[in-house]
Amino acid sequence: MTGARPTRWVVAVPMAALALATIYPLVFTANVAMKTRREYTLDRFSPTGSLRWDNIVKAWTSVGMSRYFLNSVVVVACSVALLLLLGSMAGFALGRLRFRGSSALFLGILAALFVPFQVIMVPLARIMADTGLVDTYPGLVLAYVAQFLPFTIFLLASYYSTVPPEIIDAARIDGNTTYGVYRRIMLPIGAPALVSVGVLNALFCWNDVLISLLVMPSAEHRTLMVGVTSLRGQYSDDIPTFASGVLIAAIPVLVVYLFLQRQIADGVTAGSTKG
Amino acid sequence: MAQSSPSLTAKTAGVPPAPPRRKRAGSRAERLAPLVLVAPAVLVIVVMRLWPLLLGINFSFTGDGDRDGTAVGFDNYLTLFDDPLFRTALRNVGLLVLLLPVAVAIPGLLATFIYLKVPGHRVYRGVYFFPAVLSPVIVGAIFTLLLAYDGPLNTLLGGVGIGPVDWLGDPDVAIFAVVGVHVWATFGMALVVFLAGFATLDPSLLDAAEVDGASLSQTIRHVIVPGLSRTIQFVLVTTMIGMLTSMFGLLYVMTSGGPEGSTYLPEYYIWTQQGQMNRPALASAASTALFLIMLVVGLAQIGVLRRATGKEDR
């Protein structure tokens, strides 16, 4: 574009610098996690000579990150499973089956998409308290499902609306009921969209702190992100241990990102192209 | 296929002419099937998203503490707008709105360069997008280390003779530091959306611009911006929503609203009134105010953009 090769290089240098600035903070954190407190005080930048796992082990065991980690894994797994189940059922019904009131329902769900959690959190906390769901795993799972379901339905409905109707007709002629079509045709055919939405929802739930703080106040039920925030106060004079806790919370996301980057991007951009 | 179906029904029914009663019962189950499929999702959304919205608006007109449950009219809203903390939060929202064009232009420009294949363009998307998948808590925790008064950034700046800046401790600086970190963490999200928009752009238009000898800025103004008006609109609205509703983690970890309440945003205010001060009705009023702000800002943006690009969407 614009022909001039030098212009491209003029742009490329700051872009490369920005790329470094994007990666460096995490590299810095990993480096700090390997240092002793003394090394950190003396020199923050230089790479550690040896890979020292003491701080990571300490953060994992005595600080309690393993407990928080397990809490998060359980809650995220249950939330994503439930989101995909309810989302695919509703997405199939709204995207592919036309019935009376289906477009009005879809609009209602879209409207819910634009109600941020902050706007409903006070009454939701009260509903949770009244129903005894505060500080329980089902309570947090339900809160996550409610939060991310509209988005899940929106994406799955638009995916299912692209499935050719002939496939459904053929399955019906073979004797399938609507439920059969859902189970035998729609679930397998929707696999790519389910993976994409599932990964995205897993990230949303894993990364959340506000909903978790509100619904799971007690210490032993903390999810990993709330655990990280509690480290800040406790270990303000032991930065390497603090950095280790941060690293433990970031590594699963990094791994998921390395393997499923395309699916994540697909999920993020799906809404923009549908308009 | 179609011809084989009667025999199939007959075979499964057992009796040669399919009994009409059973058929009707079956078709009723079939007719209800879509409703059964959507029912659980609709139930969850209505009970836990839409009902609380109404409940919250209603709640904002009742009192806290001694006046719990009694109607107080607009008292909470008066308290709210008298509270210096909430006023700071509103002022910060204004600041975010002013910074919004920058937060959209940066990923837009970067996406343009990547689309025009600057050297290394294959790598940038994957790298820039990465912080967007990290939790604000992790990002905030990392940056409390980097931005500490005796931390690495000040050491680095000290090396080139710039005095130490109290990034998170100076009331005039802290909000910019937090917003800067938020932009650092999320520009990759907008970038990916922009790139998806570019994929729908007609390449022949760009070729024509190149043949006509258009400069880069001319190409951006006359080809890319009009061609991507819908994408820009989407990014503007989602970036604004992101700034108003997904900075809680950063604020919670980096500043706790301080110093001197200077980094308060409405979402943080709602959290403190609900969680710390035990004033849920006041928090509900702040929630309703936030909802209205988002509606107004969102609609205004769409309006401005429609006029600016001279295009009617949809």
Size of interface A-B (CB pairs under 8 A): 287
d(CA A199, CA B222): 38
**Range A141-148 average pLDDT:** 95
B256: domain CATH number is 1.10.3720.10
The more confidently predicted of residues A31 and B21 is: A31
Residues in A touching B288 (Cβ below 8 Å)? 119
Q: Which phi and psi (to 5°) does residue B161 adopt?
A: 85, 15
Residue with tokens 């029912």: B39
d(CA B10, CA A257): 53
**Range B95-99 average pLDDT:** 91
Q: Is A269 close to B192, i.e. CB distance below 8 A?
A: yes
User: How confident is the model over B125-168, as pLDDT tens digits?
Assistant: 889 999 999 999 999 999 998 998 888 888 888 888 887 888 88
**Element containing residue A97 per DSSP (H, E):** none
- The whole-angstrom distance between A106's CA and the closest CA on chain B is 10
For residue B244, the one-letter residue type is L
**Does B175 reside within a domain?**
yes
Q: What is the reported pLDDT for B21?
A: 43
d(CA B112, CA A21): 20
The more confidently predicted of residues A42 and B248 is: B248
Predicted ipTM beyond 0.85: yes
**Does B207 reside within a domain?**
yes
**Percent of chain B whose pLDDT exceeds 70:** 88
Instruction: Say how many Å lie between the first and final Cα of chain A, rounded.
Output: 28
**Range B53-67 average pLDDT:** 86
| Burial group, residue A41, by CB count within 10 angstroms (0-12, 13-18, 19+) | exposed
Q: What is the reported pLDDT for B305?
A: 66
Q: What is the reported pLDDT for A205?
A: 95
**Does B46 reside within a domain?**
no
Q: Which phi and psi (to 5°) does residue B289 adopt?
A: -60, -45
Residues in A touching B110 (Cβ below 8 Å)? 15, 18
- Residue B183's pLDDT band, with cuts at 50, 70 and 90, is very high
Q: Which phi and psi (to 5°) does residue B205 adopt?
A: -65, -40
Mean pLDDT of chain B: 83
B4-18, B31-45, B54-68, B251-265: segment of lowest average pLDDT: B4-18
Q: Residue ranges per domain, chain A? A: 58-166+192-274
- The whole-angstrom distance between B286's CA and the closest CA on chain A is 8
pLDDT of residue A5 exceeding 90? no
Q: Is B252 close to A229, i.e. CB distance below 8 A?
A: yes
pLDDT of residue A274 exceeding 70? no
User: How confident is the model over B280-298, as pLDDT tens digits?
Assistant: 899 999 999 999 988 888 7
Domain that holds residue B291: 85-309
pLDDT of residue B11 exceeding 50? no
Q: Is B137 close to A116, i.e. CB distance below 8 A?
A: no
Q: What is the reported pLDDT for A6?
A: 61
d(CA B81, CA B274): 17
For residue B232, the one-letter residue type is I
B17-21, B68-72, B73-77: segment of lowest average pLDDT: B17-21
d(CA B42, CA B227): 37
Residue A11 neighbours by CB under 8 Å, 6+ apart = B113, B118
pLDDT of residue B13 exceeding 50? no
Q: Are B214 and B222 in contact (CB under 8 A)?
A: yes
Q: What is the reported pLDDT for B70?
A: 79
d(CA A51, CA A35): 9
Q: Is B284 close to A257, i.e. CB distance below 8 A?
A: no
Q: Is B197 close to A268, i.e. CB distance below 8 A?
A: no
- Residue B313's pLDDT band, with cuts at 50, 70 and 90, is very low
Q: Is A26 close to B142, i.e. CB distance below 8 A?
A: yes
A125-134, B53-62, B220-229: segment of lowest average pLDDT: B220-229
Please check whether residue B218 touches A, CB under 8 A: no
Q: Are B148 and A236 in contact (CB under 8 A)?
A: no
pLDDT of residue B24 exceeding 90? no
Q: Residue B68's beta-bridge partner residues?
A: B63
Q: What is the reported pLDDT for A271?
A: 67
d(CA B78, CA B82): 6
**Percent of chain B whose pLDDT exceeds 90:** 39
**Does B108 reside within a domain?**
yes
pLDDT of residue A165 exceeding 60? yes
**Range B34-48 average pLDDT:** 93
Q: What is the reported pLDDT for B9?
A: 33
**Does B78 reside within a domain?**
no
Q: What is the reported pLDDT for B16?
A: 41
User: How confident is the model over A86-127, as pLDDT tens digits?
Assistant: 999 999 999 888 788 888 998 888 888 888 899 999 999 999
Residues in B touching A32 (Cβ below 8 Å)? 145
Question: Hey, what are A223's tokens?
Answer: 């999810």
Residues in B touching A12 (Cβ below 8 Å)? 118-120
Question: Hey, what are A133's tokens?
Answer: 């769901």
Q: Is B141 close to A242, i.e. CB distance below 8 A?
A: yes
> CATH classification of A58-166+192-274, choosing from 3.40.640.10, 1.10.3810.10, 1.10.3720.10, 3.40.50.720?
1.10.3720.10
Q: Is A108 close to B45, i.e. CB distance below 8 A?
A: yes
**Does B209 reside within a domain?**
yes
d(CA B260, CA B244): 20
Q: What is the reported pLDDT for A1?
A: 45
Whether the link from the prior residue into B259 is cis, omega within 30° of 0, is: yes
d(CA A248, CA A161): 40
- Residue A236's pLDDT band, with cuts at 50, 70 and 90, is confident
Smallest CA-to-CA distance from B254 within B125, B148, B107 is with B148
Q: Are B164 and B149 in contact (CB under 8 A)?
A: yes
Closest by Cβ to B248, choosing from A210, A232, A268: A210
Residue with tokens 């894994």: A73
Q: What is the reported pLDDT for B110?
A: 92
Q: Which of A31, A37, A122 to mutate to test the interface with B (most CBs of B within 10 A)?
A: A122
**Please, which residues 162-221 of chain A have a Cβ atom closer than 8 Å to chain B?**
170, 173-175, 177-179, 182, 203, 206-210, 213-214
**Does B163 reside within a domain?**
yes
pLDDT of residue B26 exceeding 70? no
Closest by Cβ to A2, choosing from B51, B216, B275: B216
pLDDT of residue A51 exceeding 80? no
Q: What is the reported pLDDT for B228?
A: 87
Could you give the angle at the alpha carbon of B239 between the alpha carbons of B236 and B242, nearest 5°?
A: 150
- The whole-angstrom distance between B227's CA and the closest CA on chain A is 13
Residues in A touching B231 (Cβ below 8 Å)? 272
- Residue B193's pLDDT band, with cuts at 50, 70 and 90, is very high
The more confidently predicted of residues B209 and B193 is: B193
By CA distance, what is A154's nearest residue in B?
B41
Q: What is the reported pLDDT for B10?
A: 33
Please check whether residue A69 touches B, CB under 8 A: no
How many domains would you assign to chain B?
A: 1
Give the 3-state DSSP-derived string for chain B, with helices as H, strands as E and coil as C: CCCHHHHHHHHHHCCCCCCHHHHHHHHHHHHHHHHHHHHHHHHHHHHHHHHHHHHHHHHCCEECHHHECCECCCHHHHHHHHCHHHHHHHHHHHHHHHHHHHHHHHHHHHHHHHHCCCCCHHHHHHHHHHHHHCCHHHHHHHHHHHCCCCCHHHHHHHHCCCCCCCCCCCCCCHHHHHHHHHHHHHHHHHHHHHHHHHCCCCHHHHHHHHHCCCCHHHHHHHHHHHHCHHHHHHHHHHHHHHHHHCCHHHHHHHCCCCCCCCCCCHHHHHHHHHHHCCCHHHHHHHHHHHHHHHHHHHHHHHHHHHHHHCCCCC
The string over B198-233, giving b where at least 16 C-beta atoms fall within 10 Å of a residue's C-beta and e elsewhere, is: beeeeeeebeebeeeebebeebbeebbbebbbbbbb
Closest by Cβ to B143, choosing from A25, A142, A254: A25
Q: Is B50 close to A108, i.e. CB distance below 8 A?
A: yes
**Does B262 reside within a domain?**
yes
A8-17, A134-143, B302-311: segment of lowest average pLDDT: B302-311
Q: What is the reported pLDDT for A98?
A: 78
**Range A153-157 average pLDDT:** 92
